Amino acid sequence: MTRSAVAQGRPAPVINGDTEFFWEAAADRKLVAQCCSACRVLRHPPGPACPQCHSFDWEVVELSGRGTLFSFTVVHHPPVPGFDGPAIVVVVELEEGTRFVSNMTDVDPDTLKIGEPLEVFFVDQVEGWTAPQFRRPAEPSSGVAT
Ligand SMILES: [Zn+2]
């Protein structure tokens, strides 16, 4: 199975003062989220204030990138720019307890199972940004380093 680490033509994210840290971390191959400094709730997508306690104080925490498939949908129409064929939009329940909307490629959506393990990887975009994306973890029994 070919897993391209480069893509082109996908809709670019809006990067502003609230989201810049996230995209800079993605370019460094790190999945991060905001953590409220007051009540310690993780949140994603990034925003200026905590939805739980309304504090404006937050810090960045690095996440493991491991989680499970919480939900997914397959977008057949309209076509999504930058994807070959239908786009598979996934909601991943990260092991730290927050959820993350992303996508998967190179997988038959008919084989996806709610609750199956997924892991993040990073796809560089020709346009100069990096997208976190999810895939099934490599089989641990192969014994072959990748
Ligand atoms: Zn809070």
pLDDT tens per residue across span 101-144: 999 988 999 999 999 999 999 999 999 999 999 999 987 655 55
Give mean pLDDT, residues 4-23: 88
Ligand 1 center from residue 50 Cα (angstroms): 5
* Residues near ligand 1 ion, CB 5 Å cutoff: 36, 38-39, 41, 50, 52-53, 55
Q: How far is CA 93 from the centre of its chain?
A: 10
User: What is residue 1's predicted lDDT score, i.e. its pLDDT?
Assistant: 41
The rounded Å distance from CA 57 to ligand 1 centre is: 8
DSSP 8-state symbol, 11: P
Cα within 13 Å of Cα(127), Cβ side: 9
Give the pairing of strands 117-125 and 6-7: parallel
Q: Within 10 A of 31 (CB to CB), how many other CB atoms are there? A: 24
CA–CA–CA angle 10, 14, 17 (5° rounding) = 150
- Strand bridging mode 87-94 / 99-104: antiparallel
> What distance in angstroms lies between residue 13's CA and the mean position of ligand 1's atoms?
25
CA of 45 to the centre of ligand 1 (A): 14
What pLDDT sits at residue 53?
98
Assess contact for 49 and 59: CB atoms under 8 A: no
CA distance 6 to 123: 5
pLDDT at position 40 over 50: yes
